[in-house]
Chains A and B, each alone.
Chain A
């Protein structure tokens, strides 16, 4: 299938601002699905609320646009009912880690076979640039006009500590790498998390004088280093990209099936 076969063309051009990284993530995700050759009717995509969450409107899959912070709860229900389907959950950083933070850590711990994608633009884009759990210390937001008093959560560290069995990070600048990581995350059996740095030139970029989309992507290019690289010592703004966790643990739906099989009365018990 061609890339655009996965897209509801009638809704394009999409609502996102010029140069919004969410569009690149959407295009990359579609290419990952296309390369895995997963039929459209075997994918469910559940999102919450935010600019990022608008992604489900544009994709011609089984899609649910749900409540702010609750996409993982809906996705968990879908996966329990239909464990054979691929369930992908794109979320904004606010959606996933502020209002949805508790759902997130428990989904990690459960190790349910969902693919969580954190579209991290370090702000609340949809509501006008408020501070998010991923806004860095000293960075500006409409609700932190003199710079963020807090610090950014490291979602990779959170996901690892909470028990996610696949954890990776990339950026929309690194689209070819991002595609490969998304493919691995979708194929992974267990809870997988891919953090994707994406630019919001309209709010985060403007409030922090980060320039336009090209300048913001150039910043990703210049600050991303491979997992484990020493280069971070020289510049604390650098961040690692690549695969952080890829392990096997019992998967939630599989464990459920095992119990059902174990407790089912055997044929001879009926007699």
Chain B
């Protein structure tokens, strides 16, 4: 069943130390490490927005961003 996406993943590659914690414990295998051993998204459509990657990352390098509030912020900026 297709789900409505409420969040998107925000990666801070420059803070990532390639520990693999988020990759190994993601229940739906959304994440991977790239050739420089830093976080990358393999397939975001599989993300179930469980937050476990964000909560276990030791380096603030991955975060779920709320799409609705991001849109609202965008609208505000547009109006300004």
Q: Is the CB of B20 within 8 A of A23?
A: no
With CB as the reference atom, state the residue of chain B lying closest to A212. Answer: B20
CB contact under 8 A between A23 and B24, given known A12-B15, A18-B17: no
A103 to B15, CA, bound (A): 36
- The reply on B6 being an interface residue by CB < 8 A is no
Q: Is the CB of A19 within 8 A of B20?
A: yes
A63 to B3, CA, bound (A): 44
Q: Is the CB of B25 within 8 A of A217?
A: yes
- The reply on A74 being an interface residue by CB < 8 A is no
Which residues of chain B come closer than 8 Å to A33, judged between CB atoms?
A: none
With CB as the reference atom, state the residue of chain B lying closest to A218. Answer: B24
With CB as the reference atom, state the residue of chain B lying closest to A4. Answer: B60
- The reply on B77 being an interface residue by CB < 8 A is no
Q: Sort chain B's interface into a size bin.
A: 10 to 19
Q: Is the CB of B17 within 8 A of A19?
A: yes
A20 to B18, CA, bound (A): 11
With CB as the reference atom, state the residue of chain A lying closest to B17. Answer: A18
Q: Is the CB of B58 within 8 A of A20?
A: yes
- The reply on B56 being an interface residue by CB < 8 A is yes
Partner of A19, one of B52, B58, B63: B58
A5: shortest Cβ distance to chain B, in Å?
Answer: 12
Which residues of chain B come closer than 8 Å to A21, judged between CB atoms?
A: 58
Q: Is the CB of B19 within 8 A of A18?
A: yes
- The reply on A28 being an interface residue by CB < 8 A is yes
B41: shortest Cβ distance to chain A, in Å?
Answer: 19
Which residues of chain B come closer than 8 Å to A22, judged between CB atoms?
A: 58
Which residues of chain A come closer than 8 Å to B24, judged between CB atoms?
A: 214
Q: Is the CB of A176 within 8 A of B55?
A: yes
- The reply on B59 being an interface residue by CB < 8 A is yes
Which residues of chain A come closer than 8 Å to B19, judged between CB atoms?
A: 18-19, 212-214
Partner of B58, one of A7, A24, A212: A24
Q: Is the CB of A23 within 8 A of B55?
A: no
- Per CB-CB distance, the 7 closest pairs between chain A and chain B, nearest first, are A23-B58, A19-B19, A18-B17, A175-B55, A214-B24, A18-B19, A13-B15
Beyond the given A4-B60, A18-B18, A214-B25, could you list 17 further A-B residue pairs with CB under 8 A, ordered by the A residue number?
A12-B59, A13-B14, A14-B59, A16-B58, A19-B17, A19-B20, A19-B58, A24-B57, A27-B58, A172-B58, A175-B55, A176-B55, A179-B55, A213-B19, A213-B21, A213-B58, A214-B21
On A, residues with C-beta under 8 Å from B are 3-4, 7, 12-14, 16-24, 26-28, 31, 172-173, 175-176, 179, 212-214, 217
CB pairs A–B below 8 angstroms (18 shown): A3-B63, A12-B59, A13-B15, A14-B59, A16-B58, A18-B17, A19-B20, A20-B58, A23-B60, A27-B57, A172-B58, A175-B56, A179-B55, A212-B20, A213-B19, A213-B58, A214-B19, A217-B56
